[in-house]
């Protein structure tokens, strides 16, 4: 079973810090794909066109399968990389971060930039509510119409995720979970007559600890 941490909210997380009169505005957003991550960069570049830099980092997928960062004119490795390090350190995925910088007139040096960009992203995600995005197996369970209500109620009472019921020639309950757990529960509830039929997989958000 695959799983990874991501942000619970689809609303932007923001934080602003100031270092030697340079302003750093961090915006962190949950995203579904690379297009959405790049759209956040474009959105903030348009919204804050007066800023000198719009640096970015994003992580996508359960492996994660995609990691990208961009220094947007800052010295190589001083902006996007430390931003990406924060996302990695929090073990987050499906998340994009952009830090908008207004130059304050004082050079910060490589170390100062690394700290500022990393601190801005960390401030934005500190205390964020997280969820564990988990891949669950899907199964169909066919029962008689007469038994459907009781079987569904018993399954829910056992904590089984019942995603819906279709009433055809028999009632078909759509379940999500691990085969080993569901198999035992279904056998108990149906006195061994129920048969689980695999129906693919799905990703769901489950509660996780705060970040």
Mean pLDDT for 115-140 is 96
Do residues 114 and 141 both lie within one domain?
no
Residues 124 and 161 in one domain: no
| End-of-domain residue from the set 104, 128, 152 | 128
Number of other CB atoms surrounding residue 93 within 10 Å: 24
Residue 131: strand pairing partners: 6, 207
Q: Are residues 138 and 116 in the same domain?
A: no
Condensed to tens digits (0 to 9), the pLDDT of residues 83-101 reads 999 999 999 999 999 999 9
CA nearest to 30, candidates 164, 128, 174, 134: 128
Structural domain of residue 201, as residue ranges? 132-207
127 Cβ neighbours under 8 A, 6+ residues apart:
210, 211
70 and 145 fall within a common domain:
no
CATH code, 103: 3.30.230.30
CATH of the domain at 166: 3.30.70.240
Q: How would residue 211 be classed by pLDDT, with cut points 50, 70 and 90? A: very low
Pair (173, 95) in one structural domain: no
Average pLDDT over residues 40-58: 98
pLDDT of 210 over the 50 cut: no
Pairing of strands 171-177, 161-167: antiparallel
130-172: per-residue pLDDT in tens? 999 999 999 999 999 999 999 999 999 988 989 999 999 999 9
- Its pTM stands at 0.83
Indicate the residue among 107, 128, 149 that finishes a domain: 128
Q: Which of 128, 149, 171 is the last residue of a domain?
A: 128
């Amino acid at each position: 079973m695959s799983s990874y941490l991501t942000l619970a909210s689809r609303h932007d997380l923001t934080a602003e810090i100031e270092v030697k009169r340079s302003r750093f505005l961090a915006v962190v957003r949950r995203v579904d794909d690379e297009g959405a991550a790049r759209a956040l960069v474009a959105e903030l570049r348009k919204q804050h066109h007066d800023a000198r830099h719009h640096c970015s980092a994003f992580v996508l997928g359960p492996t994660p399968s995609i990691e990208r960062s961009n220094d947007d004119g800052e010295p190589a490795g001083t902006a996007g990389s430390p931003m990406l390090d924060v996302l990695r350190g929090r073990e987050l995925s499906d998340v994009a971060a952009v830090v908008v910088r207004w130059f304050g007139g004082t050079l910060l040096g490589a170390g100062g930039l690394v700290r500022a960009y990393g601190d801005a992203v960390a401030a934005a995600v500190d205390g964020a509510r997280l969820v564990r995005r988990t891949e669950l197996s899907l199964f169909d369970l066919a029962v008689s119409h007469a038994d459907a209500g009781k079987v569904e109620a018993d399954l829910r009472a056992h904590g089984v995720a019942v995603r819906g019921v279709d009433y055809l020639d028999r009632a078909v309950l759509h379940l999500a979970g691990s085969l080993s757990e569901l198999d035992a529960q279904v056998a108990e509830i149906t006195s061994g007559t129920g048969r689980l039929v695999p129906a693919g997989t799905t990703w769901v958000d489950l509660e996780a600890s705060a970040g």
